[in-house]
């Protein structure tokens, strides 16, 4: 089932009267349950594309339709509500709230959604167990390693039971072992719960796990490889 449809997407940034075309006519569709990577050199438009899909930035031209809702047409308040209910975000910098515990960070979005205490606590514990941090509910983020903080960020992204997760360079600050653990967790959630994952990445380890690889250059799609066996072939090596 098609979950995201992007048509003729353009994004132009203007600074001191100089215009930069970050995206140039992007057309893409994503199906439910995809595990996809968007790759390309710095400045190719990866993060811009992810931010527009997630409603964190506005397109200059074109449309983004998610689950039959054209998000470009939503008011700021409705867009915020839509994002909260449908989209999970995982950022390179984790973006955990330092004064909250691990459990409180995961619960935060459910609190905003109005979920009851018992529901929040049960869902939080379920997610922290899933990412291997069930015993760290009461710790502060500063007491965790980078890999552990990123796993908390994944748990938080899944707390609202989103239709899909956008992950912008989620492994950039992680060592090899932490990256492997994190990708295994997300792949497991993708397969078992049919959560759609879309990554923006320079990391070949992420790309080699993906079942679809979309390459951007100068704001345009230059290749789009779909292969259900991509992550099964250990000999594959993709340049990012």
pLDDT at 219 over 60: yes
Q: Binning pLDDT at 50, 70 and 90, where does residue 178 land?
A: confident
Q: Is residue 172 part of a domain?
A: yes
pLDDT at 67 over 80: yes
CB 94 within 8 A of CB 141: yes
Q: Binning pLDDT at 50, 70 and 90, where does residue 76 land?
A: very high
Which SS3 state, helix, strand or coil, does residue 75 take? coil
Considering the chain, what percentage of its residues have pLDDT values greater than 90? 58
Q: Is residue 218 part of a domain?
A: yes
Angle of CA points 113, 116, 119, to nearest 5°: 100
Q: Is residue 133 part of a domain?
A: no
CB 3 within 8 A of CB 86: no
Q: In the sheet where 164-168 sits, what is the strand order?
A: 87-91, 164-168, 196-200, 35-39, 212-217, 220-226
CB 204 within 8 A of CB 184: no
What is the per-residue pLDDT for 180? 87
Residue 17 and residue 57: Cα distance in Å, rounded?
Answer: 20
Residue 91 and residue 101: Cα distance in Å, rounded?
Answer: 18
Residue 124 and residue 155: Cα distance in Å, rounded?
Answer: 8
**What global pTM score does this model have?**
0.86
Mean pLDDT, the chain, whole residue set: 89
pLDDT at 37 over 70: yes
CB 204 within 8 A of CB 240: yes
Q: What is the DSSP letter of 4?
A: E
pLDDT at 43 over 80: yes
CATH code assigned at 227: 3.40.50.300
Q: Binning pLDDT at 50, 70 and 90, where does residue 228 land?
A: low
CB 164 within 8 A of CB 195: yes
Q: Is residue 237 part of a domain?
A: no
Q: Kindly state the average pLDDT of the residues 2-31.
A: 93
Domain that holds residue 90: 2-94+164-232
What is the per-residue pLDDT for 113? 85
Q: Binning pLDDT at 50, 70 and 90, where does residue 186 land?
A: confident
What is the per-residue pLDDT for 53? 96
Q: How many domains in the chain?
A: 1
Q: Is residue 27 part of a domain?
A: yes
Q: State residue 71 phi and psi, 5-degree precision.
A: -70, -20
Q: Is residue 32 part of a domain?
A: yes
What is the per-residue pLDDT for 233? 44
Q: Kindly state the average pLDDT of the residues 57-71.
A: 94
pLDDT at 97 over 90: yes
Q: Is residue 181 part of a domain?
A: yes
Q: Binning pLDDT at 50, 70 and 90, where does residue 91 land?
A: confident
Q: Is residue 136 part of a domain?
A: no
Half-sphere exposure of 74 (CA within 13 A, CB side): 21
Tell which residue, 110, 109, 105, has the closest CA to residue 142. 105
Q: Binning pLDDT at 50, 70 and 90, where does residue 239 land?
A: very low
């Amino acid at each position: 089932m098609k979950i995201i449809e992007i048509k003729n997407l353009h994004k132009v940034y203007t600074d001191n009267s100089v215009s930069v075309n970050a995206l140039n006519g992007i057309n893409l569709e994503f199906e439910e349950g995809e595990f996809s990577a968007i790759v390309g050199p710095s400045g190719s438009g990866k993060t811009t594309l992810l931010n527009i899909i997630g409603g964190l930035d506005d397109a200059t031209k074109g449309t983004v339709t998610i689950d039959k809702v054209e998000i470009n047409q939503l008011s700021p308040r409705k867009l915020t509500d839509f994002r909260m209910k449908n989209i999970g975000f995982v950022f390179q910098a984790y973006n955990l709230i330092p004064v909250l515990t691990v459990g409180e960070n995961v619960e935060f979005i459910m609190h905003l959604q109005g979920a009851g205490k018992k529901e929040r606590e049960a869902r939080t514990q379920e997610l922290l167990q899933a990412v291997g941090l069930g015993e760290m509910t009461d710790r502060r983020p500063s007491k965790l390693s980078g890999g552990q903080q990123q796993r908390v960020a994944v748990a938080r992204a899944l707390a609202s039971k989103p239709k899909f997760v956008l992950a912008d360079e989620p492994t950039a600050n992680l060592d090899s072992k932490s990256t492997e653990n994190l990708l295994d967790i997300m792949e497991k959630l993708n397969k078992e719960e049919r959560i759609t994952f879309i990554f923006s990445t320079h990391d070949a380890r992420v790309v080699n796990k993906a079942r679809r690889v979309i390459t951007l250059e100068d704001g345009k799609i230059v290749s789009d490889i779909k292969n259900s066996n991509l992550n099964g072939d250990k000999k594959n090596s993709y340049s990012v």
